[in-house]
A and B are shown apart, each in its own frame.
Chain A
Amino acid sequence: MSVRVALHSPRGSRSFLERGLLLLVMLIFLEGTVLTLGAASSPDISAQDNTGGGDDQRGIEGRHGHANYTKKAFPVLSLDYRHIHVPFEISLWVLLASLMKLGFHLIPRLSSIVPESCLLIVVGLLVGGLIKLAGEEVPPVLDSNLFFLCLLPPIILDAGYFLPIRPFMENIGTILMFAVVGTLWNAFFVGGLLYAVCQIEGTYLSQVELLPCLLFGSIISAVDPVAVLAVFEEIHINELLHILVFGESLLNDAVTVVLYHLFEEYSDAGEVTPMDVVLGVICFLIVSLGGIAVGTIYGILAAFTSRFTSHTRVIEPLFVFVYSYMAYLSAEMFHLSGIMALIACGAVMRPYVEANISHKSHTTVKYFLKMWSSVSETLIFIFLGVATVAGPHAWNWTFVSVTVILCLVSRVIGVVGLTFIINKFRIVKLTTKDQFIVAYGGLRGAIAFSLGYLLDKDLFPMRTMFLTAIITEIFFTVFVQGMTIKPLVDLLAVKKKQEAKRSINEEIHTQFLDHLLTGIEDICGHYGHHHWKDKLNRFNKKYIKKCLIAGERYKEPQLIAFYHKMEFKQAIELVESGGGVKLPSAMPSQVSMQNIQPKKLPPAVAERALPQFTKGREEEIRKILRSNLQKTRQRLRSYNRHTLVADPFEDGWNDFILKKQRMIELEKKMSNYLTVPAAPPDSPTMCRARLASDPNAFYNIKASSDGVPTIQVDLASPQSPDSVNMLNEFSKRGATDQGLGQREGADRDEDQGLMMKPSSAGIEEKGEEGGGNKNPGLMRCLSDPGPSNEDEEDEPFLP
């Protein structure tokens, strides 16, 4: 099929739009065709196989054993689809999902109106329709283990690993109330009332008994984490509401599992005795606590393992993934709550693992998790669409409409009622607006569908009707609620997420507040929230961190760790922006250290001295920083969680880099920034680098006169007026007791960009003994060779 793409449109945006749409349609056709071809041609191919000589063994035997064998020409080229059809089809689906995602983001207007999940379901419908038209069997994806074992875990692990622990724990009571009591209420309300409706004459539904109805109620009442994540990611709602709905969707898994198994077990018995109810409660406790326990155990194992990985950095991410997956599988093995196990595992291991693994591994873990969860989510929605088309369906107006209405009603009543009770115990009460969003954000998703699909056909003759109702409910919540929640959030002026950079002042005061509130509680005399949190922290610091964190890092208090992290980020940020050339008059000088130091300090420039390093380390630092520089240049901007905007400093980079580049062009005419290279020989790459980027030569090593080679990262203050925050920190410091650097004449005009020069002293940190003081962050960075260092030197090094 030939497609003409109209590229000659005068307005760029329209051609873009056309291109995007055509791309989409093309892709859908392509994928649908290949898939059907693939399915259709396998029987033919296998026939071809036998004669085509694809199987050497059989060919040879045939040649020798057959009496009337006629010699054929040796098969030079043969087609053997059957051989690879399973992985091929899987890859095709994944490719389809990824290309769809690409396509949506090429059409900018569409993704802002319609949430991605809706679009994906529509695509799934189309593909499913195509497959059905071709007469082939739709792969039953959502019923098999594929969903629960392969598609769901990455999403949950991603959510659990990056779960914001602090707001989660602060609201844990509320979340548990909504998850447990709310889901139970929903299940019984919907199930019970449906049964009542079914008993009404004239609906022809009287064969539906109570227990199947309750089972249906329990399947459909659970808020789905995948759907919630997909929709809430795009509306950027404030943290509290986000964590409430999202936390609820995660924690209600235990309730769903128990109710599902309970009703499924007893639906053929026909009744549930009080004994069973008691057993059910016990089961619930075991399922949830057991799941958490399993997750915690695996999390601790992972943390412990990561303590020893300092020599094999390359496989560090693997431990994170494998341990988490094993936690999930182990929990599923015992019919415990796999979701809670995954969440517990990710949340428990994260602080320790992050303290142990290198920066590269950390980035790898982040990227892989985001990638897998993104692909999984896309695939799930597409399959939902495909499965809808596949059927089988049994449409019953009464049942379906009553279901949809009841779900809405029960959700609203549940949320309002529970909030009334919860507000009595909360310090920060939930307002009506909050309640509305919580109620409206209760989306159903693929988990409900899979659970329905897993029902036994014989035990539940009305299974198809259930499935139809579930699908309708899912479609309703995802399409109607998903599409309208964004305008409603704007309309109601619900507080949005604050895109705040975490500043050092806030960090100091957060810690200060923690201690203050703990102290006040102690004075008041009651053991509250803060007291226990403080106790846990102390226990953590004293015992757990010692076991699970490698080296000396466990002693590092949180504030210091935060500070080092920020320094490091700032260093990289400034390097990647190309350093800075000072424009003498154009830009006003920024606030720098001398503005806040009392006047008595000499104006001499004491650089910000990082701990001392050997020459070998210098080289490594340079390599790392340079490689980061190169990669950032090609970074594109994108808009949702799948682009790791969790890192606040990355956001400002692009702006900053653009501004810098503009300025750098301006400054090309100005005097070159070249300081005299000193004695130690530069690597060839350094020379190349300096020549290639003339005004920005900033790798410059000078020999230290003292003989202890150290590196000082002296970072320029930014030239652009509105990039503030930490960048100023790295200009001169008035610390007298740190050895003053050896900056020569020309360099004395401050803020000349990034220079790495040795100087004599370094920061002394008590408690970190041994020859060089080790900045733990840099140590971890340096000790990670990465898979292929050599490649980086070949990349063009241009600003």
Chain B
Amino acid sequence: MGTLQSLSDEPEYRELAEKTGFSFEQIGILHKRFKQLSHNENTLRRADLDTIPDLACNPIRTQIIEAFFDKRNFHQNGDGTVEEISFEEFLVVMSHFRPPALNMTEEQREKVRREKLRFLFNMHNTDNDGTITLEEYRHVVEELLSRSGALGKETAKGIADAAMLEVASISMGHMEPDEFYEGITFEHFLKILKDIEIETRMNIRFLNMDTTTLCNTGLPSRE
């Protein structure tokens, strides 16, 4: 099944490979996974992703799933959300997590960094107004702490406030008492996170070999 299929999908794969930078094998594997998740249909819905059991204990799963259906991540300058996505869009979202190539110039690196941080920014900025407001940031921290049980909104609020204050201090320097800091813009976001070297951290290893059958997808396995 593998080889026959790869031959027939060659031209589409080539186009996708060019667009996203994945290799053919990686695209093949991801396609298989896509089909597995979507029950062999052509489009993927939120409910399909919800059924992944491993994802259940992740505190930010809603946001992760939302990111897949967020048009801003499709590189088409779109806006808003969709209900279902095709394989191409799935792949484009995944391509945000590709590791950068070995020999890159400084500008290419910068470009990659911006792209990844833009993805993160979009995840936080749910109402798409260009800034992460205090409420949105609080929501992020609450979600992060939600699985840890124990602690309530107060602490989350405190942390979010502190973080926001820090961003404001770093980005704005001084502010008059009656000025109001609207929210974290993308440029500020870049600034505060420039030290974590996101281009080396926000990557996952896309395999060239097929191991998807080895893990539990909650669906009846084919083999």
* Dominant secondary structure at the B interface: helix
In the complex with contacts A508-B141, A725-B169, A593-B58 CB distance below 8 A = no
Contact of A593 among B152, B161, B195, B201 (CB under 8 A): B161
Q: Is the CB of A520 within 8 A of B161?
A: no
In the complex with contacts A555-B149, A557-B150, A764-B152, A523-B52 CB distance below 8 A = yes
In chain A, residues 342-393, which have Cβ atoms closer than 8 Å to a Cβ of chain B? Answer: none
Does B203 lie at the interface of the complex (its beta carbon under 8 Å from any beta carbon of A)?
A: yes
Q: Is the CB of A559 within 8 A of B145?
A: yes
Does A530 lie at the interface of the complex (its beta carbon under 8 Å from any beta carbon of B)?
A: yes
Does A505 lie at the interface of the complex (its beta carbon under 8 Å from any beta carbon of B)?
A: yes
Q: Is the CB of B169 within 8 A of A728?
A: yes
In chain B, residues 190-205, which have Cβ atoms closer than 8 Å to a Cβ of chain A? Answer: 192-193, 195-196, 198, 200-205
Q: Is the CB of A525 within 8 A of B165?
A: no
Does B220 lie at the interface of the complex (its beta carbon under 8 Å from any beta carbon of A)?
A: no
For the complex formed, measure the closest distance between the CB of A772 and the CB atoms of chain B, giving whole angstroms.
15
Q: Give Cα A519–Cα B177 distance, bound, in whole angstroms.
A: 41
Does A196 lie at the interface of the complex (its beta carbon under 8 Å from any beta carbon of B)?
A: no
Does B159 lie at the interface of the complex (its beta carbon under 8 Å from any beta carbon of A)?
A: yes
Q: Give Cα A557–Cα B141 distance, bound, in whole angstroms.
A: 12
Q: Give Cα A733–Cα B214 distance, bound, in whole angstroms.
A: 51
Contact of A428 among B141, B149, B195, B200 (CB under 8 A): B200
In the complex with contacts A505-B193, A555-B150, A725-B166, A589-B176 CB distance below 8 A = yes
In chain A, residues 233-273, which have Cβ atoms closer than 8 Å to a Cβ of chain B? Answer: none
**A521 / chain B contacts, CB cutoff of 8 Å:** 204
Q: Give Cα A510–Cα B192 distance, bound, in whole angstroms.
A: 13
Contact of A524 among B94, B102, B203 (CB under 8 A): B94
**B37 / chain A contacts, CB cutoff of 8 Å:** 523, 525
B-binding segment of A58-66, A290-298, A595-603 = A595-603
In the complex with contacts A528-B205, A591-B172, A522-B155 CB distance below 8 A = no
In the complex with contacts A556-B150, A728-B165, A525-B174 CB distance below 8 A = no
A-binding segment of B11-19, B59-67, B72-80, B81-89 = B59-67
In chain B, residues 110-165, which have Cβ atoms closer than 8 Å to a Cβ of chain A? Answer: 120, 123, 134, 140-141, 144-145, 148-152, 154-155, 157-159, 161-165
**A500 / chain B contacts, CB cutoff of 8 Å:** 195
Q: Give Cα A358–Cα B93 distance, bound, in whole angstroms.
A: 47
Q: Give Cα A538–Cα B59 distance, bound, in whole angstroms.
A: 12
Q: Is the CB of A503 within 8 A of B192?
A: yes
**B157 / chain A contacts, CB cutoff of 8 Å:** 735
Does B99 lie at the interface of the complex (its beta carbon under 8 Å from any beta carbon of A)?
A: yes
* CB closest chain-B residue, reference A519: B64
In the complex with contacts A511-B144, A523-B55, A595-B97 CB distance below 8 A = no
In chain B, residues 165-215, which have Cβ atoms closer than 8 Å to a Cβ of chain A? Answer: 165-170, 172-177, 179-181, 192-193, 195-196, 198, 200-207, 211-212, 214-215
In chain A, residues 594-639, which have Cβ atoms closer than 8 Å to a Cβ of chain B? Answer: 594-599
For the complex formed, measure the closest distance between the CB of A453 and the CB atoms of chain B, giving whole angstroms.
44
Q: Give Cα A526–Cα B213 distance, bound, in whole angstroms.
A: 9
**B54 / chain A contacts, CB cutoff of 8 Å:** 522, 531
**A496 / chain B contacts, CB cutoff of 8 Å:** none
Does A518 lie at the interface of the complex (its beta carbon under 8 Å from any beta carbon of B)?
A: yes
Q: Is the CB of A515 within 8 A of B144?
A: yes
* CB closest chain-A residue, reference B154: A763
A521-550 near B? 1/0 per residue, CB < 8 Å: 111111111110010001001000000000
In chain A, residues 168-227, which have Cβ atoms closer than 8 Å to a Cβ of chain B? Answer: none
**B1 / chain A contacts, CB cutoff of 8 Å:** none
Does B43 lie at the interface of the complex (its beta carbon under 8 Å from any beta carbon of A)?
A: no
Does B30 lie at the interface of the complex (its beta carbon under 8 Å from any beta carbon of A)?
A: yes
Q: Give Cα A492–Cα B68 distance, bound, in whole angstroms.
A: 42
**A593 / chain B contacts, CB cutoff of 8 Å:** 161, 165
Q: Is the CB of B120 within 8 A of A524?
A: no
Q: Is the CB of B202 within 8 A of A517?
A: yes
Q: Is the CB of A596 within 8 A of B168?
A: yes
Does A513 lie at the interface of the complex (its beta carbon under 8 Å from any beta carbon of B)?
A: yes
Q: Is the CB of B175 within 8 A of A516?
A: no
Q: Is the CB of B181 within 8 A of A595?
A: yes
For the complex formed, measure the closest distance between the CB of B157 and the CB atoms of chain A, giving whole angstroms.
7
Q: Is the CB of B204 within 8 A of A506?
A: no
Q: Give Cα A518–Cα B59 distance, bound, in whole angstroms.
A: 11
* CB closest chain-A residue, reference B135: A598
**A428 / chain B contacts, CB cutoff of 8 Å:** 99, 200, 203
For the complex formed, measure the closest distance between the CB of B180 and the CB atoms of chain A, giving whole angstroms.
6
Q: Give Cα A509–Cα B121 distance, bound, in whole angstroms.
A: 11
Q: Is the CB of A508 within 8 A of B175?
A: no
**B120 / chain A contacts, CB cutoff of 8 Å:** 509, 512-513, 516
Q: Is the CB of A516 within 8 A of B60?
A: yes
For the complex formed, measure the closest distance between the CB of A301 and the CB atoms of chain B, giving whole angstroms.
27
* CB closest chain-B residue, reference A725: B166
A720-764 near B? 1/0 per residue, CB < 8 Å: 010011101100010100000000000000000000000000011
26 contacts between A and B (CB under 8 A): A427-B203, A500-B195, A506-B193, A509-B120, A513-B198, A517-B204, A520-B64, A521-B204, A523-B55, A525-B36, A526-B207, A529-B204, A557-B148, A557-B150, A560-B155, A563-B159, A563-B162, A592-B165, A593-B161, A596-B164, A721-B173, A724-B166, A724-B173, A765-B152, A765-B154, A768-B150
Binding site for A on B (CB under 8 A): 30, 33, 36-37, 49, 52, 54-55, 57-61, 64, 68, 94, 97, 99, 102, 120, 123, 134, 140-141, 144-145, 148-152, 154-155, 157-159, 161-170, 172-177, 179-181, 192-193, 195-196, 198, 200-207, 211-212, 214-215, 217
Given contacts A519-B61, A527-B211, 4 further A-B contacts (CB under 8 A): A503-B192, A513-B202, A589-B176, A765-B150
